[in-house]
Structure 1
């Protein structure tokens, strides 16, 4: 076995205990090697976490949980000082980004239609929570944070982060569709400036807002100044807006429900006295991020779940399908009948 001398600094004796060894998974080893070959400074790796939080390591696009692992066999021996052994290392495991904190940090900062008289009205007295704040406080990689803001429909207004109200977003979508029809614009190649001008002049939608909304629901070609509308995404959001308006009651199911099958934002049920099927707003964002609490809430809402119904409600707490299946094995019992796989709670959850 090869021997290697490790020295962290010229004062390694005085700094005993100030360093820990971390075992890198293969993809991170490749990232570090590529950084060294390109003479990078390794700044793409960041450790995030405040006192009381479990630290994570973030690359540009992934988040890894850090945990100390005791060594049952001391495979590494530190020869200075004498008789000193390494009895634990830090292990990295890919994990989901801690984006749920955004809900609490942005509470009360919703951006709605009543603020939209003109661009100057955006300078209102709201305590700023900026993108830089989110980078510092949210345990997520840069790519995951950007995707999380987009999926949660969070605007960047004068550097502040503001979640747009559902009712106002639904109105903007309606304004966009009406403007495309009124201006005879092809939704596959929309002149951005022309549409932004129409939205500002006719509906008082600030350009910075309309531009971001267009980015959420299609592809922007900045070089050509054109936007391609994603029809499916717009249809889903419009339908979701209708559900949110009726979130305290069930509504009749219609053709639009097909678009929501993979979103995890609704529950469907059949009336015991008829064949009618109803739909009720049930967003993933309202559920706890902790897996045990998530399953508890799900089984309190419905005692028995079909496989295809429960899976969308687990997508944001599992890194991949393998981890999701482990959660199902841990927290649920599976049974199979002619209709497919069903899950019930392993524990009896009491409200």
Structure 2
């Protein structure tokens, strides 16, 4: 059997030279596939000095956490030897002794800072001037490249957040569109579909954008991005818009419900306003299920605007706010308000076990605050 000679260093090797990273199965397959197909794979570690580091692939974000090992792991390197060739022996030198590994755990992308970074940069009707460089206000300009570099999220997750949060990209600058102006543009698009006799599943992009620009002074690049948020723009023939009916109807409903944060509205009256806003063609698509995670229902049948987007992103603070709002929650009622802080259903159950207590009565299972 071949023999290996181990050389122990005279002094303790410098700590911090090596780290062992344990890959979860999905990431391991991604690395193996990249090696097999000779395709590049970008893995990026993100985080400022005050952040816990995360590792991002093109699609996902992983928390990096240290796990202490019960046994040390030695990192060794070969050492040249004149006699190694004949006897088949070899010598190795210990480079470092490791007592921990780094573990990767799927995580929710940390995009909560985006809203604060873009505050004051809203794009609104009558306030559509380009943001100029202001040396006295460092955050007057925020680019897509800055978001890629600073925010702890994968490329796919960042792009998804920009779409979901309705953030325009104009000259590489990020400009969140105001909810009121977005509501106006969607209502104009619905009206133009009717006036131009355009089918919602194959509407002419040039005709819609021209009508909005000429008649309502909505910039073409703005209306184009709004149409991509709420449907698919198919190239060819000048471009056709395939409208996502559910997404448009949902956003119009939110635009109406947003005015009832302090003053609740009777459900039947709200539904009627919503149906009138989307028109006869899409009134059958109106459903409160589309607004899940954005409202509370009282026993009187009144609805109150209660958006998930305005709740804290820290789980402990999130549950505190939820239980201040309501002393107890049904599982089906609280679940929509946890989707952005839990990776999956299993992670959501862990949060409920940690921060809430399940109580069963004649009406079923309720969740109450674990600590008061």
Could you tell me how far apart the structure 1 residues matched to 2:125 and 2:248 are? 19
The answer for the alignment partner of 1:19 in structure 2 is 18
Q: Could you tell me which residue of structure 2 aligns to residue 229 of structure 1?
A: 243
Match of 2:320 among 281, 296, 307: 296
Report deviation, 1:320: 0.1
Rounded Cα–Cα distance in structure 1 between residues aligned with 2:4 and 2:232: 52
For the pair 1:37 / 2:50, whether they are aligned, the reply is no
Label 1:146 to 1:84 Cα distance change in 2 as closer, same or farther (>3 A): closer
Cα distance, 1:146 vs structure 2 = 0.5
SS of equivalent residue, structure 1 residue 88: strand
CA 1:295–1:79: 2 relative to 1, 3 Å = same
Question: How big is the shift at 1:29?
Answer: 1.1
User: How do 1:62-211 residues align onto structure 2 when only pairs under 5 Å count?
Assistant: 62-74=60-72, 76-79=73-76, 84-116=96-128, 121-122=129-130, 127-211=140-224
> CA shift at 1:15, angstroms?
6.5
Unaligned runs of 5+ in 2: 6-11, 78-92, 135-139, 275-285
Alignment CA distance shift 1:62-1:115 (3 Å): same
Q: Is the 8 A contact 2:328 2:367 kept in 1?
A: yes
**Quick one: structure 1 residues 288 and 21, their matched pair in 2 at CA, closer, same or farther if it must change by over 3 Å?**
same
Give the TM-score of the pair, scaled to structure 2. 0.83
CA distance 1:226–1:4, change in 2 (3 Å): farther
Match of 1:86, SS state, is strand
Q: Is residue 175–residue 199 contact of structure 1 (8 Å, CA) maintained in 2?
A: yes
Q: Quick one: distance in 1 between partners of 2:162 and 2:55?
A: 20
Deviations 1:6-52 (A, max 9, x none): xxxxxxx986522211000111111111222233443x211111111
- CA displacement, residues 301-345 of structure 1 (integer Å, 9 cap, x when unaligned): 111111111000000000000000111111111123454321111
Name whichever of 294-303 and 250-259 sits farther off.
250-259
User: Which of 268, 272, 297 pairs up with 1:268?
Assistant: 297
CA RMSD, 1 decimal: 2.3
> Does the C-alpha gap of structure 1 residues 337 and 220 become closer, same or farther in structure 2, counting only changes over 3 Å?
farther
Alignment correspondent of 2:27: 28
Look up the match of 2:277.
none
1:220-265 alpha-carbon deviations (Å, 9 max, x no partner): 1124511111122111111101111232221121335833456311
Equivalent residues of 1:235, 1:259 under 8 A apart: no
In 2, are the aligned partners of 1:110 and 1:165 still within 8 Å (CA)? yes
Distance change in 2, residues 1:153/1:223 (3 Å): same
CA distance in 2, matches of 1:63, 1:260: 29
Instruction: Give the secondary-structure state (helix, strand or coil) at the position aligned to 2:359.
Output: strand
Query: 1:315 is paired with a residue of what secondary structure?
Result: coil
* 1:306 aligned residue (326, 330, 344): 330
TM-superposed CA distance for 1:60, in Å, is 0.8
2:257 is aligned to 243
Structure 1, unpaired ranges of 5+: 6-12, 272-276
Alignment size in residue pairs: 328
CA spacing shift, 1:68–1:186, aligned 2, 3 Å = same
- Call closer, same or farther: CA 1:180–1:84 in 2, change over 3 Å: closer
C-alpha deviations, 1:159-196, integer Å up to 9, x for none?
11111111111100111111111111111110111110
Q: Specify the structure having the higher radius of gyration (Cα).
A: 2
